[in-house]
Structure 1
């Protein structure tokens, strides 16, 4: 797969706008969000000004504090109403810590409770998220397209190989580890379930 990554400055600006917008929608001050997600006020301020290249772990903390999926932080602030997501316009982002590359596949402009993300996870890379329960509830499935990934969810450990799929709710700390010598490719399908659906 050819990588089409957005320049870091443009991507930082997009993340900055999304975090500002989501925080405003929830009526949260910088201090309140900092307390809620365990990220310092100064770091959130840097992210909201587009002056930081945050890691996936940091963004996941913010997403948890804002009650959204990590993928939501990469959506365009003011999407158009196009239900088609073309490969050439699908945003790719590289985690500065682990080097993993994520690509938002779903049309960010289409109102849907489902998001699809493709991930290229480098050999021996590891990412640990301090995920906690959110409202609305976020369900996630990880489908390994090529390779192997070891996923720990709370106290549960799973080794997934090509073709395997794991379903989970994002309500506990989790970590991903690629024990192999080759890049693992997997898809993440995320569904947000509003309270009214349960």
Structure 2
């Protein structure tokens, strides 16, 4: 399940409970079947925008109330259920753990790059810092025609106001975590 479906799953259940509504009542108010609502709440369905429109109209909530990161003390992300947010098969895949949100000053991603491949990233703007921790393989990072070698279990931090490229020049898959931190 991706982060957006997880948010919808958690938020729909919370909204239904806050309103004191049963699944039958929500189905009646929204025109969405009880079985579909159950699948959405369990994170087993990928609801269409039309289905979400029926839900927000019937429950009289904003779409952002369903999609925002839940205000929970714990928000668990299961890596095995994440789908790539960007992917070129045989070259790289990007997984989003915690995406951009206006009230959050960071984002967290994992990138996998196959041997001999690279991933080019544009500039992220002034005031953004990128923190990388390599957990498999070795990263060759190119920033403004300078190269940095980051080995397994090592890290690097840099300002992301310019284009940069992640290279896997090794013979095994490269995996690393990226945290973007934004200034207020």
Q: Which has the larger radius of gyration?
A: 2
TM-score bracket, shorter-length normalisation: 0.5 to 0.7
Question: Who is 1:183 aligned against?
Answer: 173
CA gap of 1:5–1:127, structure 2 versus 1, over 3 A, is: same
Instruction: Give the superposition deviation at 1:114.
Output: 1.6
Instruction: Give the superposition deviation at 1:128.
Output: 2.5
Instruction: Give the superposition deviation at 1:129.
Output: 3.0
Question: Who is 1:36 aligned against?
Answer: none
The answer to whether structure 1 residue 125 and structure 2 residue 125 are counterparts is no
Asked if 1 retains the 8 angstrom alpha-carbon contact of 2:133 and 2:155, the reply is yes
Question: Who is 2:76 aligned against?
Answer: 85
Rounded Cα–Cα distance in structure 2 between residues aligned with 1:143 and 1:183: 15
Q: Count matched residues.
A: 121
**1:28-69 deviation line (CA, Å, top 9, x unaligned):** xxxxxxxxxxxxxxxxxxxxxxxxxxxxxxxxxxxxxxxxxx
TM-score, normalisation: structure 1:
0.51
Rounded Cα–Cα distance in structure 1 between residues aligned with 2:163 and 2:170: 23
**Which residue of 138, 147, 151 maps to 2:141?**
151
**1:89-124 deviation line (CA, Å, top 9, x unaligned):** 644234237631111122767932122111111111
RMSD: 3.2
Rounded Cα–Cα distance in structure 1 between residues aligned with 2:128 and 2:90: 24
TM-score, normalisation: structure 2:
0.55
CA gap of 1:81–1:108, structure 2 versus 1, over 3 A, is: farther
Instruction: Give the superposition deviation at 1:80.
Output: 4.1
List structure 1 runs of 4+ shifted beyond 3 angstroms. 88-91, 107-111
Greater mean deviation of Cα atoms: 182-191 or 123-132: 123-132
